[in-house]
Amino acid sequence: MKNLHRKDNEAFAIGKNVRVSPRKASIVLDTIRGKRVKDAQNILKFSKRAIAQDIYKILSSAAANAENNHQLDLDILKVSEAYCGKGMVMKRWRARAKGRPGKIEKFLSNITIKVAEVQNDKEESK
């Protein structure tokens, strides 16, 4: 696995080939970026967007990685980075006039969420 420039007080989780376009996923990721993990989980739990459920699972996985693998404290964890990139594209077609196909592209995303420990208020304001 690639080393994603991991720091000692940081853990991450990656969701690969999540069935949503990166444009829709980034809207939800913008709402949780920079928030504490507990606050971000509450935002995602009550969000009306369907992708929020998948992002909640990825965020919970990142928090569990921080607690179990890196011995970080859950109470002071913060979402340091939350971004998505383009995954593969499923190509489908639909019958159109005169026997021609109409192209349908179904986009998939790779979602990465990094959580880090915040020691004091000065780091939190950055």
Q: Write down the domain spans for the chain.
A: 10-120
Query: Measured between alpha carbons, how far is 20 from 34 in angstroms, rounded to an integer?
Result: 22
For 43-78, what is each residue's pLDDT tens digit? 999 999 999 999 999 999 999 999 998 888 888 999
- Whether the CB-CB separation of 94 and 101 falls below 8 Å is answered with yes
Calculate mean pLDDT across residues 37-48: 96
pLDDT at 92: 96
pLDDT at 23: 94
Calculate mean pLDDT across residues 86-106: 96
CATH superfamily of 10-120: Ribosomal protein L22/L17 (3.90.470.10)
Of the candidates 119, 104, 106, 84, the one whose C-alpha atom is nearest the C-alpha of residue 8 is: 119
Query: Measured between alpha carbons, how far is 41 from 71 in angstroms, rounded to an integer?
Result: 20
Calculate mean pLDDT across residues 78-94: 95
- Whether the CB-CB separation of 54 and 82 falls below 8 Å is answered with no
Lowest mean pLDDT among 63-67, 90-94, 104-108, 119-123: 119-123
* pTM for the model: 0.84
Other beta carbons less than 10 A from residue 107's beta carbon: 16
